[in-house]
Amino acid sequence: MLNSGQVARFVTHGFLRLDGVVPPTMNEEALGVFAAGLPAVPYGTPLPEAFPHGSFARRLVTLPAVAGALESLVGPEPTVDHHFVHTRQPHEGSAQALHADAVIDLRFDAFDVQLMYYPHDVTEDMGGTLLVPGSHLRRTNESDTGRYQNLLGQIRLACPAGTVLLLHHGIWHGGRRNDSDAVRYMYKIRLNPTVPQIRLWHTTDLDDAAVREELARRFPWYEEAAGRLEIHNRIRVWRALTGDPTFDVDHWVTRITNRPAQRSRA
């Protein structure tokens, strides 16, 4: 299970990175499984029914580090939205435009998690996944961000084999061009929560100063003034996740939710 510091990092950055958590034997197996193809899963299928016992996907999501992180974010009984193996051929000459997967999803008190698994080393020349940290709460239509070529602080993933990324559904991302001599695989599973996402993780460190510091973080691409909106939205998410309607950073949400007239009429 995650702790409050890790969940605060997810809320702030829009993703968590679990390096090398899948063992080498499974990584080797994955290459054959992905090359052969995976059966489709109907939308909304409960996780245990989507992936039969003994299947590769079932063993992936039940690895302790993966299962604990997923339960901390989406709860114990998520459903599978969809899954897909993304393949980039060697020297493929195009990159995916920067985009968010959630065109119409405006929830702040709930979110889906997208698991991305890399069965082999992803080197710089393999391209990897491009991520813009802290972008997940700035709502845009899916491809409106495609005009942007580079943003300060963006991450072009390079990682060891067996790495798993857990992404907020709204993060800006894109698959980069593969300039290497090897096929690049990435396996994605989108998971939908079925329980309220309130204090699902280990909360013993909930009041640590480091949690508040993480939630107040700024990223290089934020504008000086409008960047405050990201912190405001982040606070709203944290209030929902903790069930604490009083949490704030620098009074951002408290001042705009102040309704003295409503209190006086009560």
Q: Residue 139 — very low, low, confident or very high, per pLDDT cuts 50/70/90? A: confident
Residue 30 within any structural domain of the chain: yes
Whether the predicted pLDDT of 104 surpasses 80 = no
- Quick one: what percent of the chain has pLDDT higher than 70? 97
C-alpha pair distances (Å), 149 with each of 42, 97, 211, 242, 257: 35, 8, 32, 36, 37
The share of the chain scoring above pLDDT 90, in percent, equals 77
Range of the domain at 85: 4-192
Neighbours of 187 (CB within 10 A): 22
The answer on pLDDT for 140 being more than 70 is yes
Residue at 11 is within a domain: yes
Is residue 231 included in any domain, yes or no? Answer: no
Confidence band for 106, pLDDT divided at 50, 70 and 90? confident
Owner of token pair 């974010």: 73
Query: In this predicted structure, what is the pLDDT of residue 102?
Result: 66
Asked whether residue 89 is assigned to any structural domain, the reply reads: yes
Q: What is the CATH number of the domain that holds 112?
A: 2.60.120.620
CA atoms within 13 A on the CB side of 230: 26
Helices 4-13 & 64-74 angle (0-180, nearest 10): 70
Average pLDDT over residues 138-148: 77
Higher pLDDT residue, 147 or 244? 244
In a domain, 95, yes or no: yes
pLDDT in tens, 174-212: 999 999 999 999 999 999 999 999 999 999 999 999 999
For residue 210 the two structure tokens come to 């480091």
Question: Is there a domain that residue 240 lies in?
Answer: no
| 184, part of any domain | yes
What pLDDT, in 10s, does the model give residues 32-76?
999 999 999 999 999 999 999 999 999 999 999 999 999 999 999
Q: Which pLDDT value is given to residue 86? A: 93
CB atoms within 10 A of CB 264: 7
Give the chain's domain count: 1
The side-by-side arrangement of strands in the sheet containing 79-88 is 15-18, 163-168, 113-118, 184-192, 79-88, 45-46
What stretch of H or E contains 261?
helix 260-265
> Does residue 266 form part of some domain?
no
Q: Is the pLDDT of residue 129 over 90?
A: yes
- The whole-angstrom separation of Cα 176 and Cα 181 is 15
**Which 8-state DSSP code applies to residue 15?**
E
Q: Is 141 a residue whose pLDDT tops 80?
A: no
